[in-house]
Structure 1
């Protein structure tokens, strides 16, 4: 994998992403920007200096656009990377159309080139910086919380401590880091409830007409029981 060198004249800004035609994958060094981070995905990335650096995970980024929230998936986490990079090739793989011309790059999400997602003006150092507004930390925290509940249910309502242990010890491939939720799971509470046993002896019996009578009437059943007893 390779990405092109960019000039350091543009200030380092976590919201700036460079549209790069020489980059094979979306990349960032900022773990806080990524959702659903999968640390099981690792690979080597060749940077502009020719050095190979290790990508330590892959996640998704949510950004706000005039067309609503958009997901940028399969973003590699590369510690030490100076800039955030958007791969033109990867955008095209996901159905986007990127046109270069007139000192700008225009990104569309349809083949008719009617739905423009972004217009990026070329900077003085012949690169294409795009400012993307990622979702705020509160919204991101809520999304992580929702994901924790999803994994909790996927594993049959397994406790969060055991889920964290499975992720920490690498017992399950693809299991992301999860936060331990303090809210109570209603399904878990209901599943652990049990009925108190009935009294073995009669504690009350009707003795006069029209007094309340409790009875247990069941049947006939539509389906035969095991052993055809009912």
Structure 2
């Protein structure tokens, strides 16, 4: 009974204090409702695949066979790493990124990184441009096909795949060998030319 009298008195006081034309409305009751669980929501997991843009590599190469499609199983020789170790080239295939297809990417068993060959881009009538912090792969019309970041030591192009179940980042690291050292000092000169300079005892 006391509560009803107090409520009526409070309502009358509010009506007296409110400007004319306004009507006092009691506050709505707020009730906590737990959020419904949506089990149909699927998380999108993006996979990052990093390729090193390198003029010392004669062909596009990868050690991850899952990146390639339309591959041809064929032994194509061996590749010599900077530490004088050899790895077999077992097949080649296409690397598809959106509407861009990069043909003839070699699968090298045991290769722990991915390499884009500047020379192979040139052979496909593509331009490779390096700026202070960016690198581009363009067609003859000037359209940017691939864009990457250029750091102090390496130029990297990051590709994205949304079909992978786990994140993945592949990155090349230069080995501390004399061949790699001169490869970097000579603006990523092809290893074949470095070996030729060494055999002829040419001093630069």
**Interval containing the TM-score (normalised by the shorter chain):** 0.5 to 0.7
1:75-113 per-residue CA deviation (whole Å, 9 max, x = no partner) reads: 110111111111010011111101123243221112x42
User: For the Cα contact (< 8 Å) 1:106–1:116, is it kept in 2?
Assistant: yes
Inter-partner Cα distance in structure 2 for 1:39 and 1:119: 30
Cα deviation for residue 19 of structure 1 reads: 0.7
- Mapping 1:37-56, distance limit 5 Å: 37-56=71-90
Inter-partner Cα distance in structure 2 for 1:104 and 1:22: 19
Cα deviation for residue 50 of structure 1 reads: 2.0
* Aligned counterpart for 1:60 among listed residues 88, 94, 103: 94
User: For the Cα contact (< 8 Å) 1:23–1:87, is it kept in 2?
Assistant: yes
Which residue pairs with 2:50 in the alignment?
16
Is 1:127 the counterpart of 2:154? The answer is yes
- Mapping 1:169-180, distance limit 5 Å: none
SS of aligned partner of 1:19: strand
Cα deviation for residue 16 of structure 1 reads: 0.7
Structure with larger Rg: 2
User: For the Cα contact (< 8 Å) 2:48–2:161, is it kept in 1?
Assistant: no
Query: Normalising by structure 1, what TM-score?
Result: 0.47
After TM superposition, the runs of 4+ consecutive aligned structure 1 residues lying more than 6 A away are none
1:137-180 per-residue CA deviation (whole Å, 9 max, x = no partner) reads: 7xxxxxxxxxxxxxxxxxxxxxxxxxxxxxxxxxxxxxxxxxxx
Larger RCO (CA under 8 A, 6+ residues apart): 2
SS of aligned partner of 1:89: helix
Cα deviation for residue 37 of structure 1 reads: 1.4
Q: Any unmatched runs of 5+ in structure 1?
A: 1-12, 138-230
Q: How many residues align?
A: 118
Query: Normalising by structure 2, what TM-score?
Result: 0.53
Which residue pairs with 2:115 in the alignment?
85
1:152-211 per-residue CA deviation (whole Å, 9 max, x = no partner) reads: xxxxxxxxxxxxxxxxxxxxxxxxxxxxxxxxxxxxxxxxxxxxxxxxxxxxxxxxxxxx
Cα deviation for residue 21 of structure 1 reads: 1.0
Which residue pairs with 1:157 in the alignment?
none
User: For the Cα contact (< 8 Å) 1:26–1:74, is it kept in 2?
Assistant: yes
Inter-partner Cα distance in structure 2 for 1:75 and 1:14: 18
SS of aligned partner of 1:15: strand
| Structure number having the greater strand percentage | 2
Is 1:118 the counterpart of 2:138? The answer is no
Inter-partner Cα distance in structure 1 for 2:162 and 2:74: 24
Which residue pairs with 1:147 in the alignment?
none
